[in-house]
Structure 1
Amino acid sequence: MKNARNADLNKKVSMIDILVVEDNEDDIRILEKVFENMKLLNIISVVRNGQEALDYIYHLGKYAFSGNPTPGLILLDIRMPIMDGFEVLAKLKSDPEHRKIPVIILTTSDREEDIAKSYENGACSFVTKPVSFFDFIKIMERFEIYWTLVSKIPEAK
């Protein structure tokens, strides 16, 4: 029944490319499993730090000739090596070409100052990763349905 429902949903889905910016391998595996289980057709790309995210988006470094699409949605951790998520968010939102890309902060932090700073810098949502594996899966399934089926976002350029 779920596969039939997902097949019907795929006809209505917004085909957006999702960029996951996450340094924790366990969290990456959970996200990949959720996206796989949902059987939606979105392209999911994963980078492991803030600098790599900017290289991916701006086609720099190892992504210079990759032809990767501009993401239509970004899931961004805030605590990462090399460059944190706040720096990435500030750079994207100060760039007229990329400021409309929805950025969802996905982090273990539940600190009020992190929440406030995320929204002040242009994040459209702040999600605290639950400790429980199963709770994380449930939240990400709901996220996937909302952002690919319900919400309307600007087309990537």
Structure 2
Amino acid sequence: MSKSGPHFLYVEDDLMSRKVLEVLLIRVMGFTHVTIFDNSENFMDQLRLLPDVPGIFLLDIQMRPHDGYEVLEMLRNDPIYQNSIVIALTANVMANDVQQLQSVGFDGLIGKPIMKDIFPDLIEKILSGESVWYVP
């Protein structure tokens, strides 16, 4: 099954996490428009080099040199990306972490570890406009 769907951009510095999400989005779910950045260095410059605007940003929170909060701020301060869907992917899923993610403007959360049997349903909900705050 192959479906173009939105352009996903995943920013993650952990190799294993990148591989897991790549397999889930491309091989399992059949999306064909997936871009993965292996760090947040020169994030906006890298982003502007893409041929189109990603529809969904999936951001690791703990990465360098800019963490997910800083990347979110960059996106929200740019008129081109300020209304984009931005989902946090993190292992930090205590109640106060979820509240902080919500208060700074993330559109959702998928807690790590990514569960391969649940992840596709979460993405489908996000694509249908639902708010997803999933804590494993």
The question of a shared fold, defined as TM-score above 0.5 by the shorter chain, is answered with yes
Q: Does 1:102 align with 2:92?
A: no
Q: Does 1:151 align with 2:129?
A: yes
Gaps of 5+ in 2: 131-136
Question: Deviation of residue 29 (structure 1)?
Answer: 0.9
Question: Deviation of residue 53 (structure 1)?
Answer: 3.4
Q: For residue 108 of structure 1, what is the amino acid of its counterpart?
A: A
Q: Who is 1:33 aligned against?
A: 23
User: Identity across aligned pairs (percent)?
Assistant: 26
Task: Show CA shifts across 1:81-113 (max 9, x none).
Answer: 211110011121122321110000011111334
Alignment of 1:79-118 (within 5 A): 79-118=62-101
SS at match of 2:97: helix
Question: Deviation of residue 142 (structure 1)?
Answer: 1.3
- In the TM superposition, structure 1's runs of 4+ consecutive aligned residues that sit over 4 Å from their partners are none
Question: Larger C-alpha radius of gyration, 1 or 2?
Answer: 1
Question: Deviation of residue 151 (structure 1)?
Answer: 2.8
Higher helix share: 1
Gaps of 5+ in 1: 1-5, 153-157
Q: Who is 1:3 aligned against?
A: none
Higher strand share: 2
Q: Who is 1:76 aligned against?
A: 59
Task: Show CA shifts across 1:113-153 (max 9, x none).
Answer: 432222122111012113xxxx62123211232234x238x
SS at match of 2:10: strand
Q: Who is 2:34 aligned against?
A: 44
Task: Show CA shifts across 1:11-51 (max 9, x none).
Answer: xx7x310000111111111111112122234x000002223
C-alpha RMSD of the superposition: 2.2
Taking a change above 3 Å as real, the CA distance of residues 136 and 55 of structure 1, as seen in their structure-2 partners, is: farther
TM-score norm. by structure 1 comes to 0.71
